[in-house]
């Protein structure tokens, strides 16, 4: 068996590569990225026209994605054009199974460029045969974006005598994170069970709010000042333009919306309950 992992050096791709290599010791696994670094690393640009060097492929796992646009790397290019390139080259590689890592909340009508382009990619792939889509909530991997944001908020609170002004709708939105290992195992089971045309939502057993995470990182000492959405919207829009490293427009939109989903299909494919993420947050935010 020959397995191609696109975006193999990314945070999710790294976990998938590690576990797929372990699960299929006799398979040829190519973990593709522009750098070619990492376990089973293979240097490859997904935008090149000729994919014939791969020969026949049995499974393509697409974990290519970005959380912020930078230069030529736009959401449309990375989320949509990559999918179109895969499909253009699919027949020449023997029509392999495609397992696509999307995101919970992908919606072509979203005001977020991140979520809307993920939604377009999903719609393109749903028209194809032998394609599985995985839509996870936050994926728990060390050093993930949310950890950095929460530590930044903790630092800001320290500067303000442990007081932290925060949009009220951020604090009430609910999230259902999942361990990266569960996403990797889901990919593995989709291959082993030869699943076709499945759309599985990747959510863990616990539901959190931003307030829960702030209480963990601040050990309950941070005093939150809730600012109504109507009052904070315009100032925050300016902040996303002037200081995108604090929060960009897409993050502002997405952090204010619930990101939860029932996970019966996940449990069916895994044959078990998803792993708890509690220890992850305690360790990463300590």
Domain count, the chain: 1
Range of the domain at 147: 2-284
User: For residue 88, with 0-12 CB atoms within 10 Å meaning exposed, 13-18 middle and 19 or more buried, which class applies?
Assistant: exposed
User: How many CA atoms are closer than 13 Å to the CA of 150, on its beta-carbon side?
Assistant: 23
Q: What is the pLDDT of residue 52?
A: 84
Check residue 236 and give its pLDDT. 75
pLDDT at 232: 83
Helix axes 210-217, 145-159, angle to 10 degrees: 60
- Per-residue pLDDT at 244: 76
Chunk the chain into consecutive blocks of 10 residues (it has 286) and report each block's average pLDDT, rounded to whole numbers: 96 97 98 93 92 94 93 95 96 96 97 96 98 97 89 94 94 97 98 98 98 97 94 80 77 91 98 98 94
What local confidence, expressed as pLDDT, does residue 101 receive?
Answer: 98
Backbone angles phi, psi at 163, to 5 degrees: -95, 140
Q: What is the pLDDT of residue 50?
A: 86
The one-character DSSP state at 275 is P
Q: What is the pLDDT of residue 142?
A: 85
Question: 257: domain CATH number?
Answer: 3.40.50.720
Angle at 161 between CA 157 and CA 163, to 5 degrees: 55
């Amino acid at each position: 068996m020959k397995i191609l992992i696109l975006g193999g050096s990314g945070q999710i791709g790294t976990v998938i590569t590690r576990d797929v290599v372990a699960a299929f010791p006799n398979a040829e696994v190519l973990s593709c990225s522009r750098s070619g670094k990492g376990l089973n690393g293979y240097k490859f640009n997904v935008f090149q026209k000729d994919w014939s060097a791969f020969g026949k492929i049995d499974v393509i796992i697409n974990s290519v994605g970005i959380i912020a646009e930078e230069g030529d790397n736009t959401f449309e290019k990375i989320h949509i054009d990559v999918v179109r390139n895969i499909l253009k080259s699919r027949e020449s590689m023997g029509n392999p199974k495609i397992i696509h890592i999307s995101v919970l909340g992908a919606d072509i009508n979203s005001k977020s460029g991140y979520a809307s382009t993920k939604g377009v990619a999903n719609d393109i792939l749903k028209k194809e045969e032998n394609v599985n889509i995985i839509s996870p909530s936050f994926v728990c991997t060390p050093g993930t974006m949310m950890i950095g944001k929460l530590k930044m908020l903790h630092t800001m609170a320290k500067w303000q005598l442990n007081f932290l002004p925060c949009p009220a709708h951020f604090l009430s939105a609910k999230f259902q994170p999942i361990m990266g290992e569960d996403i990797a195992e889901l990919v593995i089971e989709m291959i082993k069970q030869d699943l076709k045309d499945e759309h599985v939502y990747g959510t863990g057993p616990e539901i959190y709010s931003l307030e829960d995470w702030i209480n963990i990182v601040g050990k309950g000492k941070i005093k939150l000042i809730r600012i109504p959405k109507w009052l904070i919207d315009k100032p925050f829009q300016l902040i996303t333009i002037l200081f995108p490293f604090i929060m960009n427009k897409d993050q502002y939109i997405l952090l204010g919306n619930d990101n939860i989903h029932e996970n019966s299909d996940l449990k069916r494919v895994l044959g078990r309950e998803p792993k708890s993420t509690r220890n992850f947050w305690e360790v990463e935010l300590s």
